[in-house]
Amino acid sequence: MSYAFVFPGQGSQSVGMLAELAETAPVIGQTFDQASETLGYDLWALTQEGPEARLNQTEVTQPAMLTAGVAVYRALVEATSPSPAYMAGHSLGEYTALVASGALSLAQGVELVEARGRLMQDAVPAGTGAMAAVLGLEDEQITALCAEADGVLEAVNFNAPGQVVIAGEKTAVDQALPAFEAAGAKRVVPLPVSVPSHCVLMKPAAEALAEKLAGMSLQTPTVPVVHNASVQTFADPDAIKSALVEQLYRPVQWVRTIEYLKAQGVSQLYELGPGKVLMGLNRRIDRKMGMQAVYDSATLSKALETL
């Protein structure tokens, strides 16, 4: 069986995440301790006790979710010797995949995504950017309607057939919502975020991220990582750096990522980290592909039966 590990991004975090698994797998707490040393605050205490508003701030959410995904991966590695054919992650999850694959150390990953979150927030003044999920329209319809908007508006997350996220200037997003409904969208849902991720407004953040990456030494991944924007894998560290910069202002091609994995012979996916968001998306992309989320001791045991 050829399988892949996939890692979730922002939105899957919650106060108390991984608490049950941490009771039986000490590596969970150990991984959070390592991340806390880099960050300079107790990340595990924050994820377990909150406050929720602090956990949901992007410069905290990103290192918290990266650490959680790496911790679950390490729990698997301690129990078996997994040999995934590929790794991938949704948006922030791409960094988690790179840490799990050895391209980045945990310290590098945590430092990078904390900076990424801060740079993203700084790139667009609070209240001027927005995102929304559009359900029930074809990708081409959404792209065309975005092009007609007055201001910056782009399709930025191609999550599943009939589920696309748009991002841009808040005024453009607000003005366009009735147009999506008029075109036949089943639902148009504004998202509770302050940063319009993966659109051209993130270019200043991408340029600053490139400067930070320039001073870092990356390694060739031990497992190929499929990148969000290009849906390609790279062995060269400089190419990986370029992919991470590009990812910040270009769309997350999740549908194409899953289709790519299937074309390479992958028949089973394991989502490592809090929640089951990617499993829900992946079922809409390809119901025939095996899928399992790993986030507590029961799901870890179930995964070990098939790995």
Task: Indicate the DSSP class of residue 89.
Answer: E
Given 90, 101, 194, 198, which residue is catalytic?
198
**For the sheet containing 86-89, what is the strand order?**
225-226, 86-89, 3-7, 268-272, 290-294
Beta-bridge partners for 279: none
Structure tokens at 73: 């991966």
Q: Does residue 227 carry a catalytic annotation?
A: no
Find where tokens 């590929």 sit.
86
Given 12, 91, 101, 197, which residue is catalytic?
91
**Residue 275: C-alpha distances to residues 70, 72, 236 (Å):** 14, 12, 32
Q: Terminus-to-terminus CA distance in the chain, angstroms?
A: 9
d(C-alpha 232, C-alpha 227), whole Å: 6
Q: Nearest 10 degrees: CA dihedral of 199, 111, 51, 56?
A: 10
Beta-bridge partners for 169: 129
- Using CA of residue 289, residue 294, residue 299, residue 302, what is the dihedral sign? positive
Which amino acid, residue 81?
S
d(C-alpha 168, C-alpha 95), whole Å: 23
Q: What are phi and psi of 86, to 5 degrees?
A: -150, 165
Q: Does residue 90 carry a catalytic annotation?
A: no
Question: In sequence order, what DSSP letters do the residues of 24-75 get, joined into one string?
Answer: H-HHHHHHHHHHHHHHTS-HHHHHHH--HHHHTSHHHHHHHHHHHHHHHHHH
d(C-alpha 188, C-alpha 71), whole Å: 35
Find where tokens 């007609």 sit.
148
Residue 275 backbone class (left: φ over 0; alpha: ψ -120 to 50; beta: rest): left
Catalytic amino acids? 91, 198
